[in-house]
Chain A
Amino acid sequence: MIRPILLALLIPVAALAADIPLAERRSGYDFMSAGTQEMQREDALNPGMLWVAEGEALWSEAPSASAKSCAGCHGDAAASMRGVATRYPAFDDRTQKPVDLSQRINACRETHQQQPGYPAESRPLLGLAAYIGFQSRGLRVTPPDDPRLREARARGQALFSTPMGQLSFSCAQCHDDNWGKKLAGSPIPQAHPTGYPIYRLEWQSMGSLQRRLRNCMTGVRAEPFSYGATELVELELYLNGRAAGMAVETPGVRP
């Protein structure tokens, strides 16, 4: 009789222990070279600021004669969008699903501006996400404590520790168990999504968290989930909870 109880007690504890304690949480920034760190730190050097500037221009630009601009409803982004990015993904009442920031931007565009959503990874979408994320730079990641998100977050966590691809690696095997070590000469970071969208030197461009997640999946030779897939949003949701309390860095620069 004792054994099943012990097992039942051990399993949740083991699941919790996988989370990196707040004091040990380190941004990907800490694993970069001094030069790349400076590139992120100095706005004049940070190519992500080009996308922020793009988003800033789009913010106050009406997409058509009959539609309002973002600023037409939300006003000054510095005030209205401050802290918003720290809370995404969040639960969307309309679709009854968790949505990430890019999906929220597109939903706003479709319902309030009567425009087609921007394609995934398109310049205006990354620009707006970068501009909105930028308004939270330096603030702490504060995942919403919404009971409706719990199941999706748990699914994200399960996916995080599910081995995938021909190499049969889970996210957790690298980013929970072996962070700080090297993989093919590159440091393994803890995979905190604090700087998204990021300017990645390898991409020579800006990219979203979903692009980065798909990238890792291709790396372990798994077929990546498509852009906007529920699984990716659930992973994002789990990652945001896992990074709770860390500072937002958008626009981040990564090697």
Chain B
Amino acid sequence: MVRALINCPKTAKKGEIVEIKTMISHVMETGYRPGADGKVVPRDILRRFTVRYAGEEIFSADLYPATAANPFISFHTVATQSGTFSFTWDGDNGFTQTETVAIIVT
């Protein structure tokens, strides 16, 4: 488990547009850089970011070696119902992490 920060309103009115900001701790090693020993450091990046809202996929993004370390991704969505957002990052070397955040929609 690595650190991930998710900034999402706890409550929203039905139909309201909410902004969600996410950041995860990751080196995003490009696979093109030589290490101190002169050998290329193997690639280690996050490849995909997926967000589900009450079970349904609402947002996803592909990430590439040019993405900076500790990727920050933000997006907007419409608050339709109370439920949970689940955020999943998948990457090289079998990396996968899921965080969940609850929202109450009135």
**A interface residues with partner B (beta carbon < 8 Å):** 43-45, 47, 49-51, 53-54, 57, 201, 204-205
Which residue of A has the minimal Cβ distance to B24?
A: A50
Which residues in B have their C-beta under 8 angstroms from that of A51?
3
Complex contact A49–B69 (CB within 8 A): no
Cα separation A245 to B69 with both chains bound (whole Å): 33
Residue with the greatest number of chain A CB neighbours at <10 A, chosen from B5, B21, B28: B5
Complex contact A53–B3 (CB within 8 A): yes
What mask results when residues 6 to 50 of chain B are scored 1 for a CB within 8 Å of chain A, else 0? 010000000000000101110110000000000000000000000
Cα separation A133 to B86 with both chains bound (whole Å): 31
Cα separation A49 to B22 with both chains bound (whole Å): 12
**Given that A50-B23, A50-B25 are contacting pairs, would A45 and B3 also be in contact in the complex, using a CB cutoff of 8 Å?**
no
**Given that A44-B21, A44-B23, A47-B23 are contacting pairs, would A204 and B68 also be in contact in the complex, using a CB cutoff of 8 Å?**
yes
Which residues in B have their C-beta under 8 angstroms from that of A47?
23, 69-70, 72
Complex contact B25–A45 (CB within 8 A): no
- Besides A45-B21, A53-B5, A57-B3, 16 other A-B contacts (C-beta < 8 A): A44-B7, A44-B23, A45-B23, A47-B23, A47-B69, A49-B23, A50-B3, A50-B4, A50-B5, A50-B24, A54-B3, A54-B25, A204-B28, A204-B68, A204-B69, A205-B27
Kindly provide the distance from the CB of A93 to the nearest chain B CB, expressed in whole angstroms.
35
Which residues in A have their C-beta under 8 angstroms from that of B25?
50, 54
Cα separation A47 to B7 with both chains bound (whole Å): 13
Between-chain CB contacts (< 8 Å), 27 pairs: A43-B7, A44-B5, A44-B7, A44-B21, A45-B21, A45-B23, A47-B23, A47-B69, A47-B70, A47-B72, A49-B23, A50-B3, A50-B4, A50-B5, A50-B23, A50-B24, A50-B25, A50-B70, A51-B3, A53-B5, A54-B3, A57-B3, A204-B27, A204-B28, A204-B68, A205-B27, A205-B69
Which residue of A has the minimal Cβ distance to B2?
A: A50
Which residues in A have their C-beta under 8 angstroms from that of B72?
45, 47
Which residues in B have their C-beta under 8 angstroms from that of A43?
7
Residue with the greatest number of chain A CB neighbours at <10 A, chosen from B27, B68, B70, B72: B70
Which residues in B have their C-beta under 8 angstroms from that of A53?
3, 5
